[in-house]
Structure 1
Amino acid sequence: MAAALAASLLAAAPFGDGARANAASADSAIRILLDNVPLPFDSAPKAANGVTLVPFRAIAEALGIAVVWDPKAKTIRANGPNGSGEPTSVVLRIGSKTAEADGAAVPLLAAPVMQNGRILIPLAFFGRQFGAQVGWDAQTRTVSIRSPQREMRMLGFYALSSYGQIGRVSALNSVAFGWGRIDENSQFTVSGIDFKWPQPAGEVTPEKIVEAVNSAPADTYLMVYSENRKGELTKLLSDKTLRDESIEKIAALAAEKKFGGIMLDYEELGWKDDPGTAKKLLNEYVSLLADKVKPSGIRIGLALHPLNGAYKGYDYATLGKLADEIVVMAYNYHSETTPEPNDRVDSAIRLALDAGVPKEKLLLGINVHHENETSVGDKLGLAKRYGLSGAAFWRLGLLTEAEMRAIDAAAVKEEG
Structure 2
Amino acid sequence: MKAFVSLLTCVVLVCFFALPAFAQEREITVRIDGLAVPLDTPPLLDNGRTLIPFRAITEALNIPVVWDEATRTITATDGVVNVMLQIGSTTAYRNDVPISLDALPQIIEGRTLIPLRFFGEAYNCQVVWDSAKGEVRITSPSQKMAVFGFYALGDSRTSSWEDLFAQPYPAKGTGNTDLVSDLALGWYSLDREGTLLTKSTTGWQQPDGWEDVLEAAREYGMSTEMVVHLTDSDSTISDLLADETAMEEAVQSIGEEAELYQGVNLDFEGLGYRDEGEQLEEVQDRFTAFVSLLSQQLHATGHSLTLTLHAPNSAYKGYDYQALGTLADQIIIMAYDYGTQPEPVSLVQQAVEMAASSVPPQKLFLGISAPSESGESITTKVAIAKRYHLGGIALWRLGLVTDDMWQSLRLSIQPK
Shared fold (TM-score greater than 0.5)? yes
Distance 1:215 1:297 in 2: 21
Q: 2:344 aligns with which of 341, 344, 364?
A: 341
Corresponding position: 1:216 with 2:220 = yes
Answer yes or no: is 1:106 the counterpart of 2:108. no
* d(CA) in 2 for partners of 1:170, 1:148: 17
Distance apart, 1:324 and its partner CA: 0.7
Residue range with higher mean Cα deviation, 182-191 or 117-126: 182-191
Paired-residue identity, % = 37
- 1:6-405 correspondence to structure 2 within 5 Å: 6-8=16-18, 29-80=27-78, 87-161=80-154, 162-167=160-165, 168-183=176-191, 187-193=195-201, 194-200=203-209, 206-255=210-259, 257=260, 259-273=261-275, 274-334=279-339, 338-355=341-358, 357-405=359-407
Shift of 1:56: 2.3
User: What stretches of structure 2 of length at least 5 have no aligned partner?
Assistant: 1-12, 20-24, 155-159, 166-175
Cα distance, 1:4 vs. partner?
8.8
Matches of 2:84 and 2:410, distance apart in 1: 31
Tell me whether 379-388 or 46-55 shows the greater mean CA deviation: 46-55
The DSSP-based 3-state class of the residue aligned with 1:322 is: coil
Amino acid at match of 2:400: L
Structure 1 distance, partners of 2:308, 2:199, is 22
Report deviation, 1:185: 6.5
Counterpart in 1 of 2:22?
none
Q: Residue 371 of structure 2: SS of its match in structure 1?
A: coil
Shift of 1:263: 0.5
Distance 2:148 2:241 in 1: 27
CA distance in 2 between counterparts of 1:130 and 1:80 reads 13
Residue equivalent to 1:84: none
- How far residue 292 of structure 1 moved from its aligned partner, in angstroms, is 0.8
The change in CA–CA distance for 1:71 and 1:252 in structure 2 (over 3 A counts) is same
Indicate the larger mover: 208-217 or 113-122.
208-217
User: Partners of 2:297 and 2:374 in 1: how far apart?
Assistant: 40
Residues 35, 301 of structure 1: CA spacing in aligned structure 2 closer, same or farther, 3 A cutoff? same
Distance 1:238 1:74 in 2: 64
Structure 2 residue identity aligned to 1:129? A
d(CA) in 1 for partners of 2:162 and 2:142? 27
What one-letter code is carried by the residue in structure 1 that aligns with 2:185? Answer: F
What is the CA deviation profile of residues 374-415 of structure 1, one whole-angstrom value per residue up to 9, with x for unaligned ones?
11111111111222111110111111111111111111234x
Q: Distance in 1 between matches of 2:14 and 2:411?
A: 27
Q: Which runs of 5+ in 1 are unaligned?
A: 10-26, 82-86, 201-205
CA displacement, residues 176-209 of structure 1 (integer Å, 9 cap, x when unaligned): 1011013476643112242212222xxxxx2342
Distance 2:415 2:311 in 1: 24
In 2: Cα distance, 1:364 partner to 1:339 partner: 15
Contact 1:368–1:393 (Cα < 8 Å) also in 2: yes
CA displacement at 1:39 relative to structure 2? 1.7
Q: CA deviation at 1:90?
A: 1.1
Q: Distance in 1 between matches of 2:198 and 2:348?
A: 32
Distance between the aligned counterparts of 2:405 and 2:197, measured in 1? 33
Name the CA distance, whole Å, in 2 between partners of 1:34 and 1:341.
16
How big is the shift at 1:80?
4.7
| Structure 1 residue 284, shift from structure 2 partner | 0.9
Partner of 2:81, secondary structure, is strand
CA contact (8 A) 1:227 1:266 kept: yes
Bigger shift: 238-247 or 44-53? Answer: 44-53
Superposed displacement of residue 28, structure 1: 6.8
TM-score normalised according to structure 1 size: 0.86
RMSD (Å), alpha carbons:
2.2
- Give deviations 1:148-181, integer Å, cap 9, x for gaps: 1111111101012222223133321111101101
Q: How many residues align?
A: 380
